[in-house]
Amino acid sequence: MSHSAHSRHSIAPFVAIAVSIAFYSVMDGAMKFASLALGAYSATFWRNVLGAGMALPLWLKEGARRPDWPLLKLHLLRGFLSAGVATSFFYGLIRLPMAEAIAISFIAPLIALFLAALLLKEKVGRQAIGASVLGLAGVLVIALGRVGEANAHPEATLGVVAVLASACLYAWNLVLQRQQALLAKPAEVALFQCLGATLTLVVVAPWLLVIPDTEAWVSVSISAVLAIGALMLGSWAYARAETQALVPFEYTAFLWAALFGWIAFNEAVTMPTVLGSALIVAGCWIAAPRKRTEQTAL
């Protein structure tokens, strides 16, 4: 059996992507602890600082190539977006249960379809439009489930809006990732994304930055380590299996978020969240291409 045939049938990439997504979910939990202690801004800032420190030796090992100006602009733009994605998501996360925040963020791939049409001139068909309607319906179901709790949790609406804003920025981030990955290696991408996010966030540091105490440093450090581990496992998996085969595993994040939210924060999963998640996942499944794809981004 050839290597490519073996790779397509091996269970290893699927195990790797499942563990990668679990790492991301645990990271979200650690960042929720850090954000509750420091605020979303400071937690995101320090995670990017530590992430840059971890990515630097990997970039040096790759050859320490200095990107030219067009590529550097792309790196900086994605770093800027990454800062917005993370800060708004973690701002929402401290106001919502983990499973609910993750479910709302699932709308990002659907938004990315239309951004790809705008930025990459890809054609958006009726199937994608229908999928987007399903996704939007799912978000609406989750949001309406919060209406009855508005008095008990007045900041829940802010949380929903923040996570939706994060999803929109993340969708743009996904489009940039496709462009960026064709031009740079993973460690370079990780390093300059962390540096770009840090440079973006440092602008308001004199007014907003909080120095972590020992407990918060532990949460932020765990988050940075898990992020790097998840990135490496995900890269390994996507190099060995087709994108369409791995994408469905992304939705296991909801299960992990529900589990860790229940264990760490005693968060119950509501029926509107389950129903809304099902609609969003169905929309993403419908939108996903069914043809065979090559993984060229790595």
pLDDT for residue 153: 62
Taking residues 52-79, report their average pLDDT: 90
pLDDT for residue 104: 83
pLDDT for residue 131: 67
Q: In the chain, pLDDT over 90 holds for what percent of residues?
A: 30
pLDDT for residue 295: 34
Structural element, H or E, at residue 14: helix 12-38
pLDDT for residue 125: 67
Residue whose C-alpha is closest to residue 71's, from 195, 170, 189, 197: 189
pLDDT for residue 8: 46
Taking residues 137-145, report their average pLDDT: 75
d(CA 226, CA 153): 31
Taking residues 186-211, report their average pLDDT: 91
Taking residues 143-149, report their average pLDDT: 65
Distance of alpha carbon 272 from the chain centroid: 22
Listed in order, strand segments (DSSP E) in the chain are none
Kindly indicate the confidence band of residue 39, based on its pLDDT and cuts at 50, 70 and 90.
very high
Q: What mean pLDDT, rounded, does the chain reach?
A: 80
d(CA 107, CA 104): 6
Taking residues 134-162, report their average pLDDT: 72
Q: Do the beta carbons of residue 35 and residue 94 sit within 8 Å? A: yes
- Summarize pLDDT for 246-297 with one digit per residue, the tens: 666 767 777 788 888 888 888 877 788 788 878 877 776 776 555 443 333 3
- Summarize pLDDT for 215-253 with one digit per residue, the tens: 999 999 999 999 878 877 776 776 676 555 566 676 777
